[in-house]
Structure formats: C-alpha cells, structure tokens
Structure 1
Amino acid sequence: MKLAGKTALVTGGSRGIGRGIVWQLAREGAKVAFVYRSDTESANQLVKDLELDQREVIAIQADVSDSESAETVVESVLEAWERIDILVNNAGIVRDNLLAMMDLDQWQAVIDTNLGSVFHFCRAVVRPMMSQRHGRIINISSVASHFGNPGQANYAASKGGIEGMTRCLAAELGKRGITVNAVAPGFIETDMTEDIRNMAEGEIVKKISCRRLGNTEDIAHATAYLASDEASYVTGHVLVVDGGLTLGGL
C-alpha cells in the first residue's frame, strides 16, 4: 500500500469526487480525516463503510470558507494523529448564472468556498508540514478554468485562482519537502453534475476523446498518485483528467 503510515485531510469528503478520494487514500493505507459541511447522513455512512473495511477515519463538520474553522480542523487532526502528510482541497460549490444576472452572493459564495478554503487550509497545514520536512498538497481544480463556459464566471475564476495558487505554493515550498499540485477534472458523474447525465450520449460525449464521462475513481487515482512518494519530483503541475475533452475545447 503506497500510503501506509501516512495521514490525510480531505475537504468536501462526504460525497462525489471527495468521497472517491477518501476511499482511495484509505485503500492505499492512509489514515483519512475528511471535512463535510452539512450532509451528516452521508458523512456518517462513509465513516461506517470505511470502518467496516478496517480503515481509520475521522469525519469533521466545518465551514471550509472560514479561516478559524480551518485552523480548528487541522488542530483536531494533529491532536488525533500528530501529523498531516497529505492535504486534498476538494470542497467546491456551483452557483451558475450569466454575469448580467449574477448577484454578489452567488459570486462571493463560490469564491469563498472554492478558492478561499484552499488558502485557509494550505495556510493551516503548511507549518506542520514544514516541521516534518514532508507534505503533499493536492488542489482539485477544473477544466472550466481552461475555456470560457457561459454562466460560470464565478466558478471558472475560483478554479483558475486555485491553479495560480498551486504554482506559487509549489515554488515556495519545494525546498521544504512539500509538493503542491492540482488535478483538473473534466465532466465527472457526481450528484453535482446530475444535469449533464441526460446528455451523456449526446453532444458532450462526442467532444470527449474517450467517448465517456469520467467517474470519481478516475480523479481519486490521479490524486492518490500525486499524494504518493512516487510523485516526489512532481510539483507545480496541473494534471488534467478529462478524457481528452480539452484537446479540441468545447
């Protein structure tokens, strides 16, 4: 198991892509703490499933857009396991609307949750990781930041910001034994993307070289690789996992 003896913290871990990442890191041998916002039922079920599989897991309810909450979460994990080797910033929301109709709350909610949370959690873990002289930070971005998608100015801005922050932190932290990378998913089947499932056999899939939508395991495997020692010489990279969608754009 590639991650045996490691401890991981995953934001937005109770559902969708985050749930898949939590499972994969645990399968690879890591102890995993995950943060969820409000879906206690899904979080409790995930803990139950992992414990039945003999995995060590902690679920923490918190507002990822709040800096004090991020500090408290990190302190709780350090108190339980004494170290954090892997941080996966996955928490994200959408509030799609055309710019002319987008209100400030829709803009700010997406920026605070998707981009602000990455800043808060990276800042909270960086000192412990520097003390360890080891760390893996993986930020979940999106191909939405690579092309113009009408109605997603807030979402694309947040994900583009994540990729810029990823490169800056990689430059800052490499000499401390910490790598910082991003994974940019394409169209992935989750409850957040339920509205595209009906188009799976239509125009969207025709634009994907692999001729299918992605699944959460596709993102989880990419994330687990970047979290492993095998990726110790990879930093500042955005790994696009989109089945070839962006080869020709939308």
Structure 2
Amino acid sequence: MTIRALITGASGAIGAAIAEALAVSGHEVILHAHRNATTAEATAQAIRAAGGQAQVQVFDITDEAACRATLEPLAAEQPIQILVHNAGIHDDAPLAGMSREQWDRPINVGLNGFYNVTQPLLLPMITTRWGRVIAISSVAGQIGNRGQTNYAAAKAGLHGAIRSLAQEVASRGITANAVAPGIIESPMSESSFDADTVRSMVPMRRAGQPAEVANVVGFLASEAASYVSGQVIGVNGALA
C-alpha cells in the first residue's frame, strides 16, 4: 500500500518542493492549504501529470476543530504515516513595539498548528508501527533574529516538541525530526533579504533552493533515516 504523506503549508515554495520530492519517491501526497488553495492545486495537478498521486485539503491550521474534522476521516480511511509540518508565518516587529496579535500569529500557525495536525494523526500512525514526523523550523529558532522574537519562539518551541515526541514514539517505529532552513529563495525571503544582504550574511554567499530543503526532508522520510530521530538539522549555507 502506498504511504500517505501530509504536507502543511504546501502552497509555499518550500512546501511545494517537499510535496514534489515525496511524490517522486512514490508517496501519495496530501497538500494542505488555507488561503492559497489555487497554488496548492496547481502543484497537485503537476504531480498528477507526472504520474504521482496528490490531493489538496483546505483548512485553517490554527483551528483545532477544523483540523480534526479534516484529518480524522483521512486517517480512518488510511493512516497518514509521513507528516511534514511546514506551515509558518512571519509578523515581524521589535518586541518593544509588538502587539499581542503579532506575538500570537506565528505561534498559532507554527507551534499550535503543529499540535493541531500532529495529535490526531499519531495514534493511527502508531498502529502501523512506522512513521515520520518532520517539522520545518528555521535558523531563527536556533540563533534568534532581530524583530522576530515571536517567530523564533514558535520555531524554538518546535525543537523541544520534536525532541520530546521522538522519545515518546521511538519504540513504535516512528521518528521525529526538525529541519531548520536558513535563507531560502522564496517570495517570503525576497521581501526581507536582497542579494547583497544574503551575500554578506551567508558564508556560502547565496540563498538556498527549496529543493535543497526538500532533499533533506526526503531523506528523513525514507527508510535510510530509520535511526535518525530527535534531531534539528540545519540547511543554511553555514549561517549557523
């Protein structure tokens, strides 16, 4: 039976690249989207055109009830054995001038969203005695970043959650890891970092490609990574 994989935030550049990589590996991919469902559907159509299996599910990852209403029937139909939690947002401001709403938004999507999608899928995954939980974090969660105390807090929280979850499910054939990208080419990064800034910040003097993140995720999702768990793996051009 084909292994099913859910990728949250699959309408973005990194999420789309991950979905494409997992589909090429032979998995059925479920692309989550919220406001940009059309973009996610275009990725799914491209995967299907190439002979892969893909579908799009639209729901608000910050809404626990909506997550359960979508994911529990999917898992009852067939357990989702690969979960890639990629959804995340910025809402940047210095902490001294940050509103409570700004503080909450990245945490609700990135960290609370991790709970909302992971918790309903764990018991069905455990019954299969095989699974992969992969959280897409950020170098900001490792070294911090000015103006991103909220975003860095959300990503650092994922590191603790992943390390703890890895211990809870290790005896059940399930691994849990985080991938922490640095500056990756995408519309989000281009609005924050121009080419000169990237060259000055990153020792490799370039931004990474979404496929370079997807390649690491593909490895972690594979049988080759069966003894890798509880890790935070940087993909950052030696930035950290």
TM over 0.5: same fold? yes
Cα pair 2:41 2:55 within 8 Å, conserved: no
From 107, 122, 125, the counterpart of 2:121? 125
Runs of 4+ in 1 over 4 A off after TM superposition: none
Task: State percent identity of aligned pairs.
Answer: 37
SS of match in other structure, 2:80:
coil
**Aligned pair count?**
240
1:142 equivalent to 2:138? Answer yes
1:214 aligns with one of 208, 215, 222: 208
Q: Where in structure 2 are there 5+ consecutive unaligned residues?
A: none
Aligned alpha-carbon RMSD (Å)? 1.4
Question: What is the CA-CA distance between 1:109 and the residue it aligns to?
Answer: 1.1
Shift of 1:79: 4.9
Partner of 2:105 in structure 1? 109
Q: Retained in 2: the 8 A contact 1:16–1:192?
A: no
Q: Which runs of 5+ in 1 are unaligned?
A: none
Cα distance in 1 for residues equivalent to 2:42 and 2:118: 27
Once structures 1 and 2 are overlaid, which stretch shifts more, 108-117 or 187-196? 187-196
Query: What is aligned with 1:180?
Result: 176
Q: CA deviation at 1:203?
A: 3.6
Report whether the alignment pairs 1:236 with 2:230.
Answer: yes
Q: Kindly provide the amino acid, as one letter, of the partner of residue 99 in structure 1.
A: L
CA distance in 2, matches of 1:76, 1:35: 15
Match runs of 1:55-204 below 5 Å: 55-80=52-77, 82-197=78-193, 199-200=194-195, 202-204=196-198
The TM-score normalised by the length of structure 2 is 0.96
Distance 2:144 2:85 in 1: 23
How many Å apart are 1:233 and its aligned residue?
Answer: 0.2
Could you tell me whether the CA contact under 8 Å between 2:183 and 2:236 is conserved in 1? yes
Task: Give me the TM-score of the superposition, normalised by structure 1.
Answer: 0.92
Shift of 1:78: 2.6
Q: CA deviation at 1:58?
A: 1.0
